[in-house]
Homo-oligomer: A and B are copies of this chain.
Amino acid sequence: MQTPDTPVDEAPSVFDSHCSARDALELIASKWTMLILPALASAPMRNGALLRRIDGISQKMLTQTLRDLERNGLVIRDDRQTVPPHVEYRLSQLGQSLSRTLTILDTWAEQNFPALDRAKERYDQQHSVKRNR
């Protein structure tokens, strides 16, 4: 029975800071996550290949993000236990499902950045005019 104290909406929500869905969103809301998962969508990759593919990422940030993604079950670290070591990273099924949407976002950025750049130019012009009045 619904009492007056029962919250109206108990479904998990990213808008609720105490909901674990927000933690999931915070993991996703990182440019490195948004680049690593789509990079791995085409094929498993080793550390060096990821470093080359993702321009500007540091080794430290790559290691840390890969560990976070592995810990959350999105990326599988495949250590073949050979000498010399051969470690590959690939997407789990969960990672694949997320990478599909992230790839759409990457494509959105690639298609729409000129419109964003034009808007910024307009905004900065208008606001410098206001400041100089």
Contact = CB atoms under 8 A, between A and B. Distances in A.
A9 to B, nearest CB: 12
A73 B117 CA distance: 9
Given A70-B123, A104-B101, A118-B73, A26 B17 contact: no
Nearest to A72: B116
Interface of A: 11-31, 33-35, 39, 53-56, 70-74, 94, 97-98, 101-102, 104-106, 108-110, 112-120, 122-124
A117 B20 contact: yes
Nearest to A73: B119
A112 B39 CA distance: 21
Nearest to A117: B20
